[in-house]
């Protein structure tokens, strides 16, 4: 069996030794193990350029290190995602690497489990497992939330999550879990219901944290600006893509009267640059006076349900920081917002303005408005055959097809650059 350990430990510790022991026992039992130490790779953050879909189909055009990593992963029988927990979720380093799995699937959509998901690019994908090292504050809810988000990532990765364990697990038990081909993946969780945010007294200003890897060019900035328009008072935009200014970003958070953090859904959670910022907030845990915080999560999937899993993490993050949780605004089909004329976005923008006024008036976010923005939360199962038929029509792929044609790679759109995966 070909096994890959994706080690997202940001600094040398006993967790490395634990993973080495796992590797040793697997090799003793005849498996070929590739142990990828992510902190030793010159990986770059995913910038949301989609070059891996529309310029060099199937591989990242800007990152040779991630190409080598993805080739190993897609040719494995089993991949172990491994990392210490940091602020209630596995490390930024592992998240950055997982964002670079995107070339291994296709931009086109299909219906799977009565939901929209990406098409396969390869014939086969590895089985997946999650191993985390708990931090001092890790509790059962952290582990549950993390497991569920990784299950969703595994589903989108055309596979399943076969276990979610901690480094308290005996090595022999974990090895047995990896090698056991008879077990089925963990049962997929039910979609969580939308969370409810609290009301706070009116504030004089809000600080907007834009977590889009595209910076001001992304859709998240548009969402934040429309929310701020409704708020009507002073606002300040902070672009998290400027990684070198993280110290200033943390200071801006600390000084804020109220915070709104917006980002696109990346591999069923937050982009790597947002996880970087969240980990930088760790010194503020337990500090009095952290600002109230709300969130916006927008995705390219048509249904709002895809973002409900990370929404649970964000609610817990606010609690971890001791901040009042203002709620989460969820929007599916968010990718097209920046290219559509304003009249086509009118209902969305009106809704965001209305929610901004809720904040200005010291009210909680209106649940009817939130539901309207998230709509459709899901499609009725009875419509699945209709949705499947639609996704087979050329119009369903027009957006990506036009970019592929513009870049003169339309005929290569189904390329499998790491073809060994199909053996």
Give residue limits of the domains in the chain: 2-179, 205-374
For 68-219, list the strands marked E by DSSP: 78-86, 89-90, 105-112, 115-120, 127-133, 161-166, 205-210
What tokens appear for 101 in the block? 């799995």
Q: What is the pTM of this model?
A: 0.95
d(CA 246, CA 358): 30
d(CA 26, CA 3): 9
Residue 391 burial (10 A CB sphere; 0-12, 13-18, 19+): middle
- Respond yes or no on whether the N-terminal peptide bond of residue 134 is cis (omega within 30° of 0): no
What per-residue confidence (pLDDT) applies to 180? 96
Closest-CA residue to 299 (of 156, 88, 197) = 156
What per-residue confidence (pLDDT) applies to 245? 97
Are 214 and 342 in contact by the 8 Å Cβ rule? The answer is: no
What per-residue confidence (pLDDT) applies to 422? 45
Structure confidence by residue, pLDDT tens digits, 31-68: 999 999 999 999 999 998 889 999 999 999 887 889 99
What per-residue confidence (pLDDT) applies to 421? 44
d(CA 76, CA 98): 15
Closest-CA residue to 292 (of 274, 273, 319) = 319
Per-residue pLDDT of the chain (423 residues; tens, 9 = 90+): 999 999 999 999 999 999 999 999 999 999 999 999 999 999 999 998 889 999 999 999 887 889 999 999 999 999 999 999 999 999 999 999 999 999 999 999 888 888 889 999 999 999 999 999 999 999 999 999 999 999 999 999 999 999 999 999 999 999 999 999 999 999 999 999 999 999 999 999 999 999 999 999 899 999 999 999 999 989 999 999 999 999 999 999 999 999 999 999 999 999 999 999 999 999 999 999 999 999 999 998 989 999 999 999 999 999 999 999 999 999 998 877 877 778 888 999 999 999 999 999 999 999 999 999 999 998 877 766 777 777 777 777 888 989 999 999 999 999 999 987 444
Are 2 and 77 in contact by the 8 Å Cβ rule? The answer is: yes
What tokens appear for 60 in the block? 């990242």
Give CB contacts under 8 A, 24+ apart, made by 344-347: 347/372
CATH architecture of 205-374: 3-Layer(aba) Sandwich (3.40)
What per-residue confidence (pLDDT) applies to 280? 98
Domains 2-179 and 205-374 share a fold: yes
2-179 CATH:
3.40.50.360
What tokens appear for 226 in the block? 């429309």
Q: Tell me the helix, strand and coil percentages in the chain, rounded to 5.
A: 45, 20, 35
């Amino acid at each position: 069996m070909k096994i890959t350990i994706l080690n997202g430990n940001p600094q040398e510790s006993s967790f490395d030794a634990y993973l080495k022991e796992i590797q040793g026992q697997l090799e003793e039992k005849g498996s070929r193990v590739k142990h990828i130490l992510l902190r030793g790779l010159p990986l770059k953050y995913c910038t949301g350029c989609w070059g891996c879909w529309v310029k060099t189909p199937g591989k990242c055009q800007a990152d040779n290190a991630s190409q080598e990593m993805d080739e190993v992963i897609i040719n494995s029988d089993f991949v172990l995602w491994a990392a210490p927990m940091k602020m209630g979720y596995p490390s930024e380093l592992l998240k950055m690497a997982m964002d670079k799995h995107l070339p291994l699937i296709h931009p086109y959509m299909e219906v799977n489990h009565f939901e929209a998901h990406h098409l396969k690019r390869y014939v086969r994908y590895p089985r997946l497992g999650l191993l985390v090292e708990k931090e001092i504050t890790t509790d059962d809810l952290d582990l549950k939330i993390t497991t569920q988000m990784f299950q969703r990532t595994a589903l989108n990765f055309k596979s399943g999550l076969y276990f979610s364990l901690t480094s308290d697990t005996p090595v022999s038990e974990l090895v047995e879990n990896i090698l056991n081909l008879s077990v089925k993946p963990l049962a997929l969780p039910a979609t969580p219901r939308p969370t409810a945010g609290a009301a706070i007294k009116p504030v004089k200003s809000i600080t907007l944290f834009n977590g889009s890897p595209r910076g001001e060019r992304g859709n998240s900035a548009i969402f934040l600006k429309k929310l701020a328009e409704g708020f009507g008072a002073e606002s300040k935009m902070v672009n998290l893509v400027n990684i070198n200014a993280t110290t200033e970003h943390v200071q801006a958070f600390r000084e804020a009267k109220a915070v709104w953090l917006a980002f696109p859904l990346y591999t069923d959670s937050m982009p790597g640059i947002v996880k970087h910022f969240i980990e930088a907030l760790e010194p503020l845990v337990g500090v009095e006076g952290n600002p109230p915080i709300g969130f916006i999560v927008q995705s390219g999937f048509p249904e709002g349900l895809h973002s409900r899993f990370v929404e649970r993490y964000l609610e817990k993050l606010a609690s971890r920081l001791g901040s009042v949780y203002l709620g989460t605004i969820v929007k599916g089909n968010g990718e097209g917002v920046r290219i559509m004329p304003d009249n086509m976005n009118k209902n969305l923008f009106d809704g965001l303005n209305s929610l901004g006024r809720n904040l200005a008036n010291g009210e909680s976010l209106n649940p009817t408005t939130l539901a309207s923005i998230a709509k459709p939360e899901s499609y009725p199962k009875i419509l699945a055959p209709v949705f499947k038929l639609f996704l087979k029509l050329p119009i369903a792929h027009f957006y990506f097809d036009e970019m592929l044609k513009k870049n003169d790679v339309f005929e290569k759109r189904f390329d499998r650059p790491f073809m060994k995966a199909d053996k």
